Structure 1
Amino acid sequence: MMRLRSFRFLWMGQGFSNTGDVLYIVALIAVLYQATGSALYLSLLPFTITMARFLSGMCAPLVLNRYSLKGLLVGSQSIKTVLLGSLGISLGLFTPSVLFILPFAFLIAFLDGWATPARNAMLPQLVHEAELAKANSFVAVVDQSIQFGGWAIGGIFVAATSGPFVIWLTFCTYVISTFLMALIVVREQRDYKKKMPLMSGWKLIWEHPILRIFHIMIFIEAIANVVWIAAILYIFVEEVLLKSEAWWGYLNASFFIGLIAGGMLVSKYTKWFEQYMKVTLLITCFAISILTFLFGLTSVPVIALLLTVLSGLVEQVKSIIMVTIIQKKCLKESLPEVFSAQSALISITFGLGSLLYGFLAEAVSVAFVFALSGVLLLASALYLLKRIQFLDD
């Protein structure tokens, strides 16, 4: 019963935190645009956040060596709350410059970079192993629902009120999040006196056969998944579908609907997915490659929407299965370092991939980048097929 209650406090606390993360970014975009009127300065915000999360993942072993997972979650969330409160006060006193706002965004994102790895590492300690897939799918649905609705709600709040008001609204969600996560009860079996090298997570990944296989796939897929960023989809809508920017919103919404549906599917049929986990992973890897190819080839808007929903669904099922296998195959005490290294790998690869894809979409064509993503995803699937026997170890 205590573990179930703690799991509830974990997902609710992270839910409020993630809601705040979306709201404050929307608010900062509004504040920055009002202060500068420059699209270039706005582009610095996602770049700053990406780099902060990468550095956070790289530095995580040094922090994990000193604090428990619960202490890390509560402590980082508390500092985020203080930082956001300070930013809110500053906005009320003067009109801030870009150089003033970006350090706040960097520090908040840096602290937030530990949250998801710590949560994923804590989950096996709060639920039974047989319930891991269901717990992961539930948490994924909560995350994607917040992402799906958060940007729309944040935009409405900013339009109806102001950026500073939404900053204070975020402050309230952070306070609630900190309180809920402080109520978590977890008994961790980790030696905090043991010195943990900075690259310990990377070393664990390379030495563990299953982790090495998965993270080579994650590296390839992080590059391929750049194709779904807003900038690429916007060009696709304009140049291929020949539709208004409203269809850009429809495609984004369709992808998130697919993600939510995938999480609900795994949650409803957990026992089936547990029984056929390896086969399902292989099928979804090939399926996402095919769907990406087809999406890049279509010029029919309705078919594009359908393919986007299916892509989101398949991607979610694949991601949940990969996380669940990692949680089951890796030692619990090693999970924090592994997920931290994974977070850093995804952040830097996705960030650099965004620059590459933006260049290719402009220099070649948007259809080419979708074809490239399809090839990369196919390579990932074929690599898994070749190494599939190692998943039984």
Structure 2
Amino acid sequence: MAFRFRALRHRNFRLFWSGQLVSLVGTWMQSVAQGWLMHELTDSAFMLGLLGFLQFLPVLLLSLWAGVVADRVDKRRMLLLTQSLALLQAAALATVVSAHVVQPWMVLALALVFGVFNAFDLPTRQAFLIEMVGKDDISNGIALNSAAFNTARVIGPAVAGLLVAGMGVAACFWFNAVSYLAVIWSLARIRIAPRAAGAAGGGTRTHVMEGVRYAWSVRPLRNLLLLLGFTAGIGFQYMVLLPVYARDILHTGAEGYGLMVSAFGLGSLAAAVVMTRRLDRWDLRRNLRFGLSISGLGMAAFAWSRSLPLTLAMGFCIGLGLILYVTSTNTLLQLTTEDRFRGRVMSLYTLMFIGTAPAGALISGWVAQVMGAPIATSLSALVLLGGAIYVFFRLRVLAAREAARPTEPVLTEKLG
């Protein structure tokens, strides 16, 4: 059992993990409350898609530049800055809601502002992990990081549903603002040995292109990133439509909405626990195939369910599958990437994982507005199943290739 938590041996990681666990509960509470607030203000599936579009648009536009910054600067200080700015954003949203002056454009504008901070926070956070735990424990650090994220994903939405129903959405925003103090405090106590500055010399554009060329030239990185971009763009956009399912299809209200998000989180947490085991190259490859398959099938059933228990069960399956897939992808990328390119490669991971979301959220919102949320969610399911079919055939090719060349290094992903 202790082996499953070996990354927690590192003091810095313990501090970071505990602080972000508290903060992430608040983040998920705000995410649930923000979607519910927009649906109450506009009663429009398209506006939910637009909200997702604006929140993730900065990741699309800025993530590659943010990766260069992450390779150049002190990552702990960068995270202190992004988390402090996120606290101010949450407080501003809480203030306009509490003052009863909130308008849809305010929610959209503040979502865009949060996206700017997040574009720098995400690649820096991913690249910072290896500085806290080292390469030997990086896979376990990623898994425990995912476990914290998904524990919060279970707790935060459930609490948010109760708070929205009992006290209103402003309470969720205020809680989120206060929760940032936990991660800011933990980051302030972390002590990292100085490292040589990366990406020195040349302009930002030069270093961005250097990182892109590196990722494209290494076949495992290229294939993993392209597959992630294909599946995440539309396949992961089920979340933006959950208020529609809760309010208009299942008629469960804010409490049901919170339970839906928590069901996804519970499945995701189960996946994160599975990922704490020691996994070899083929375990990780099979996770890609299984994760995409079970999430695609679960999403297809979720789309047409009219029973809350079935919806929650399928939400569990979707969360389990997506996190198995994403966490395995992250682990393989981290294990394959050279340290000097880590920030830039993780910015490409962020770009493919989250930066593709703006277009996907708009498409899903538009399809839901015109043809209904079940059709939009079914489209997401088809994309995930298409990715699973691709991985299935690629693994057959790789099995034959490795049978002919049995001396390939362990834990070097070759998905191409």
Q: Is 1:202 matched up with 2:212?
A: yes
Q: How many percent of aligned residue pairs carry the same amino acid?
A: 17
CA distance in 2, matches of 1:222, 1:207: 22
Residue aligning to 1:323: 330
Corresponding residue to 2:353 among 346, 351, 363? 346
Q: What amino acid does structure 1 have at the position aligned with 2:281?
A: K
Q: What amino acid does structure 2 have at the position aligned with 1:22?
A: W
8 Å Cα contact 1:17/1:173 also seen in 2: yes
| C-alpha distance after superposition, 1:282-337 (max 9, x if no partner) | 32333245435654379887787666544533443333332222222212232111
Residue aligning to 1:265: 274
TM-score by length of structure 1 reads: 0.80
8 Å Cα contact 1:227/1:233 also seen in 2: no
CA distance in 1, matches of 2:220, 2:43: 46
Q: Post-superposition shift, 1:144?
A: 0.9
8 Å Cα contact 1:282/1:381 also seen in 2: no
Q: Post-superposition shift, 1:26?
A: 4.1
From the superposition, tell whether residues 46 and 307 of structure 1 become closer, same or farther in structure 2 (CA, over 3 Å).
Answer: closer
Residue aligning to 2:12: 6
Q: Post-superposition shift, 1:213?
A: 1.7
CA distance in 1, matches of 2:239, 2:37: 23
Q: Post-superposition shift, 1:93?
A: 5.8
Q: What amino acid does structure 2 have at the position aligned with 1:218?
A: L
From the superposition, tell whether residues 368 and 173 of structure 1 become closer, same or farther in structure 2 (CA, over 3 Å).
Answer: closer
Corresponding residue to 1:284 among 283, 287, 304? 287
Q: Is 1:382 matched up with 2:388?
A: no
CA distance in 2, matches of 1:228, 1:166: 22
8 Å Cα contact 2:23/2:183 also seen in 1: yes
Alpha-carbon RMSD: 3.8
Q: Post-superposition shift, 1:260?
A: 0.9
Q: Which moved more, 1:172-181 or 1:230-239?
A: 230-239
Residue aligning to 1:168: 174
| C-alpha distance after superposition, 1:203-240 (max 9, x if no partner) | 3321222211211221222146336446389679999x
Q: Post-superposition shift, 1:73?
A: 0.4
From the superposition, tell whether residues 297 and 64 of structure 1 become closer, same or farther in structure 2 (CA, over 3 Å).
Answer: closer
CA distance in 2, matches of 1:313, 1:252: 13
8 Å Cα contact 2:290/2:388 also seen in 1: no
| C-alpha distance after superposition, 1:178-211 (max 9, x if no partner) | 1211222223333364344344443332122221
CA distance in 2, matches of 1:307, 1:30: 21
The number of equivalent residue pairs is 383
> Structure 2 stretches of 5 or more lacking a match?
1-6, 403-407
8 Å Cα contact 1:50/1:351 also seen in 2: yes
Residue aligning to 1:219: 229
From the superposition, tell whether residues 5 and 21 of structure 1 become closer, same or farther in structure 2 (CA, over 3 Å).
Answer: same
From the superposition, tell whether residues 166 and 289 of structure 1 become closer, same or farther in structure 2 (CA, over 3 Å).
Answer: closer
> Structure 1 stretches of 5 or more lacking a match?
none
| Partner SS state of residue 221, structure 1 | helix
Q: Post-superposition shift, 1:50?
A: 1.7
Q: Post-superposition shift, 1:343?
A: 1.0
Q: Post-superposition shift, 1:29?
A: 4.7
8 Å Cα contact 1:262/1:314 also seen in 2: yes
| C-alpha distance after superposition, 1:63-92 (max 9, x if no partner) | 336521111101111222234444545556
TM-score by length of structure 2 reads: 0.76
1:1-80 → structure 2 map (5 Å cutoff): 4-29=10-35, 36-39=41-44, 41-61=47-67, 63-64=69-70, 67-80=73-86
1:77-88 → structure 2 map (5 Å cutoff): 77-88=83-94
8 Å Cα contact 1:189/1:333 also seen in 2: no
From the superposition, tell whether residues 199 and 103 of structure 1 become closer, same or farther in structure 2 (CA, over 3 Å).
Answer: farther
Q: What amino acid does structure 2 have at the position aligned with 1:216?
A: L
Corresponding residue to 2:187 among 172, 181, 184? 181
